[in-house]
């Protein structure tokens, strides 16, 4: 005789309604109050099935002549009885009875953001304060280096304060949501994270300006779009962690799907409808870097590439050429 099995019953939505040790001497299952396992499922008989030890001492089950029968839920076959073994599943009415070995492996615990890891690093007030100060300083520096007028300290503080204010509003919303979902109110951590993420967007933009300056041929807008999409996906994953109990893989899959959908929608909406005059204006930035550090191309090299422009334009202008297979 093997170890005592666990009997588990799930309802029509897959939620566990009953879980308990299976009596080694047997049990009856049904809607009636005289059963060992009473199930509130209107499609069950008062006594639907019985489990009892056979002559060899092994447990076996038998349908007690139920009106709707007992089914194999995987193959939709009607069953009358058999051995009770770990992994056996029986469909009765709208419920499923499952027999599980006690050493059955279970998924690892979900990481709770309150546990001091991940997003919780900013629960510490000093760290959160430092993050907010850094966000404000970086916004101020960005404002200073892009202004070409004489500027006062108050002017420079404005973008930082605006960032903190908007981040604060956003954080308030999420802090309350989190309180409803997880009974935790952590405004400061939310605020610091929001400000840091806003700063990350700013820094990513600056980084790509430099990339675009050093390597003008790069499809910089596409790369920048990808960076933003990645950051956006990561943010969604974090928020799903706050409001759902999904495992990590599911959070990433859903967040990825949302990002891809949004990217496609934005791509379609933002499609340049023939306004190609705007192409004339370069999008990159110039940077104060000594010429010897700038990767360059020779005059000949540059004008060799322009021949490619002519080919593209000639194909566009000459529909006959366009129709030819490449």
**Interface contacts to other proteins, rule CB under 8 A:** 144-150, 213-214, 216-217, 274, 276-277, 279-291, 294-299, 301-303, 305-310, 312-314, 316-317
Nearer to other proteins, 44 or 156 (CB): 156
Q: Are strands 70-72 and 37-38 parallel, antiparallel or unpaired?
A: unpaired
Nearer to other proteins, 249 or 291 (CB): 291
Burial 101-134 (b: 16+ CB within 10 A, else e): eeeeeeeeeeeebeeeeebeebbeeeebeebbee
- Compute the least distance from the CB of residue 141 to other proteins, in Å: 9
How big is the chain by its Cα radius of gyration, in Å? Answer: 32
- Compute the least distance from the CB of residue 249 to other proteins, in Å: 41
- Compute the least distance from the CB of residue 160 to other proteins, in Å: 18
SS3 for 135-168 is HHHHHHHHHHHHCCCCCCHHHHHHHHHHHHHHHH
- Compute the least distance from the CB of residue 199 to other proteins, in Å: 18
- Compute the least distance from the CB of residue 293 to other proteins, in Å: 10
- Compute the least distance from the CB of residue 134 to other proteins, in Å: 19
Give the residue from 71, 21, 15, 18 showing the smallest Cα distance to 43: 71
Nearer to other proteins, 104 or 285 (CB): 285
Nearer to other proteins, 67 or 280 (CB): 280
Burial of 92 (0-12, 13-18, 19+ CB in 10 A): buried
- Compute the least distance from the CB of residue 242 to other proteins, in Å: 38
Q: What does the block give as tokens for 210?
A: 């430099």
Nearer to other proteins, 40 or 305 (CB): 305
Q: Which residues contact 58 (CB under 8 A, 6 or more apart)?
A: 1, 83, 84
Nearer to other proteins, 185 or 303 (CB): 303
- Cα distance between residue 291 and residue 214, in whole Å: 11
Nearer to other proteins, 260 or 289 (CB): 289
SS3 for 16-63 is EEEEEECCCCCEEEECCCCCCEECCCCCCCCCCEEEEECCCCCEEEEE
């Amino acid at each position: 005789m093997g170890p005592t099995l666990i009997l588990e019953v799930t309802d029509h939505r897959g939620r566990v309604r009953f879980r308990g040790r299976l009596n080694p001497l047997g049990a009856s299952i049904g809607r009636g109050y005289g059963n060992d396992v009473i199930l509130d499922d209107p499609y069950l008989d008062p006594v639907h099935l019985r489990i009892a030890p056979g002559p060899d001492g092994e447990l076996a089950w038998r349908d007690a002549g139920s009106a709707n029968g007992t089914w194999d839920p995987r193959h939709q076959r009607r069953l009358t009885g058999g051995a009770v073994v770990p992994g056996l599943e029986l469909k009765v009415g709208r419920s499923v009875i499952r027999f599980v070995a006690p050493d059955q492996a279970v998924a690892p615990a979900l990481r709770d953001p309150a546990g001091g890891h991940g997003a919780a690093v900013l629960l510490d007030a000093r760290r959160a304060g430092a993050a907010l100060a850094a966000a404000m300083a970086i916004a101020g520096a960005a404002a200073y280096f892009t202004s070409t007028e004489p500027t006062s300290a108050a002017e420079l503080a404005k973008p930082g304060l605006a960032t903190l204010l908007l981040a604060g509003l956003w954080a308030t919303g999420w802090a309350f949501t989190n309180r409803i979902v997880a009974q935790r109110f952590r405004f400061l951590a939310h605020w610091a994270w929001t400000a840091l993420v806003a700063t990350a967007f700013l820094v990513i933009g600056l980084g790509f300006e430099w990339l675009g300056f050093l390597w003008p041929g790069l499809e910089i807008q596409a790369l920048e779009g990808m960076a933003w999409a990645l950051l956006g996906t990561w943010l969604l994953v974090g928020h799903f962690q706050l409001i759902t109990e999904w495992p990590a893989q599911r959070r990433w899959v859903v967040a990825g799907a949302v990002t891809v959908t949004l990217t496609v929608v934005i791509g379609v909406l933002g499609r340049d409808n023939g306004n190609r005059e705007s192409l004339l204006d370069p999008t990159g930035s110039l940077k104060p870097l000594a010429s010897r550090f700038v990767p360059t191309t020779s005059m000949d090299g540059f004008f060799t590439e322009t021949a490619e422009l002519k080919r593209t334009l000639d194909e566009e202008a000459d529909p006959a050429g366009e129709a030819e297979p490449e």
